[in-house]
Amino acid sequence: MKKTIIVAGAAGEGINTVERFIERILKKVGYEIFSYKNYMSRVRGGYNYSTIVISDKPILSIEDQADYFVALNQVAYANARLQLKEDGICLVEGDPSEEKENLIFDRSLLKEVSKSKNAFSMAAVGALLRVFGCEQEVLNDLNNSKWTDEVNASNMQAAVFGFEKTQPLFAPPENLKTRILMGGNQAVALGALSAGLSFYSAYPMAPSTGIMTYLASVEKEMHIIVEQAEDEIAGIMAAVGASSNGVRAMTGTSGGGFALKVETIGFAAVSETPIVIANVQRPGPATGLPTRTEQADLAFVATASQGEFSRIILAPLTVEDAFYTTFRAFNLADEYQVPVVILTDQLLADTTQSIPKFKTDDLKIERHLNTEITPDYKRYAFDQISGNRKYPGIDAETLIMTDSHVHDEYGAVTEEVEATLALKRKFLKRIEAIKKTLKKPLFYGDQAYETLFITWGSTYGALKDAVDELILKGEKVALLAFSDVFPLDKEVMDPYVSQAKCIINVEGNAMNQFGMILRMETGVMFDASINKYDGRPFSSAYIINEFEVINHGKH
Binding site for other proteins (CB under 8 A): 178-182, 190, 193-196, 198-199, 201, 218-225, 227, 229-231, 233-235, 237-249, 263-264, 267, 327, 357-358, 360-361, 363-365, 392-393, 396-397, 399-405, 411-413
> What are residue 252's DSSP bridge partners?
278
The alpha carbon dihedral of 236, 240, 245, 249 has a sign of positive
Rounded CA gap, 210 and 218, in Å? Answer: 13
Measured from the CB of residue 160, what is the shortest distance to other proteins in angstroms? 26
Nearer Cβ to other proteins (48/201): 201
Measured from the CB of residue 407, what is the shortest distance to other proteins in angstroms? 9
Nearest one of 338, 365, 332, 261 to 483, comparing CA atoms: 332
Give the side-chain half-sphere CA count within 13 A for 213.
Answer: 12
Measured from the CB of residue 360, what is the shortest distance to other proteins in angstroms? 4
Nearer Cβ to other proteins (196/204): 196
Q: CA torsion angle for 224, 330, 207, 145 (degrees, to 10)?
A: -40
Nearer Cβ to other proteins (363/550): 363
Nearer Cβ to other proteins (263/521): 263
Measured from the CB of residue 137, what is the shortest distance to other proteins in angstroms? 19
Neighbouring residues of 45: CB distance < 8 A, sequence distance ≥ 6: 10, 11, 12
Measured from the CB of residue 63, what is the shortest distance to other proteins in angstroms? 25
Measured from the CB of residue 233, what is the shortest distance to other proteins in angstroms? 7
Measured from the CB of residue 107, what is the shortest distance to other proteins in angstroms? 37
Nearer Cβ to other proteins (232/546): 232
Measured from the CB of residue 201, what is the shortest distance to other proteins in angstroms? 7
Contact 104, 96 (CB under 8 A): yes
Instruction: Name the DSSP class of 452.
Output: E
As a residue count, the chain comes to: 555
Measured from the CB of residue 301, what is the shortest distance to other proteins in angstroms? 19
Rounded CA gap, 505 and 183, in Å? Answer: 27
Nearer Cβ to other proteins (116/201): 201
Nearer Cβ to other proteins (113/247): 247
Rounded CA gap, 273 and 401, in Å? Answer: 11
Residue 415 identity (one-letter amino acid)? E
Measured from the CB of residue 191, what is the shortest distance to other proteins in angstroms? 9
Nearest one of 31, 69, 57 to 171, comparing CA atoms: 31
Nearer Cβ to other proteins (73/404): 404
What's the N-to-C CA distance of the chain in angstroms?
34
Q: CA torsion angle for 249, 254, 258, 259 (degrees, to 10)?
A: -170
Nearer Cβ to other proteins (395/527): 395
Contact 357, 219 (CB under 8 A): no
Nearer Cβ to other proteins (263/469): 263
Pairing mode of beta strands 275-281, 339-345: parallel
Neighbouring residues of 67: CB distance < 8 A, sequence distance ≥ 6: 3, 4, 5, 84, 85, 87, 88, 89
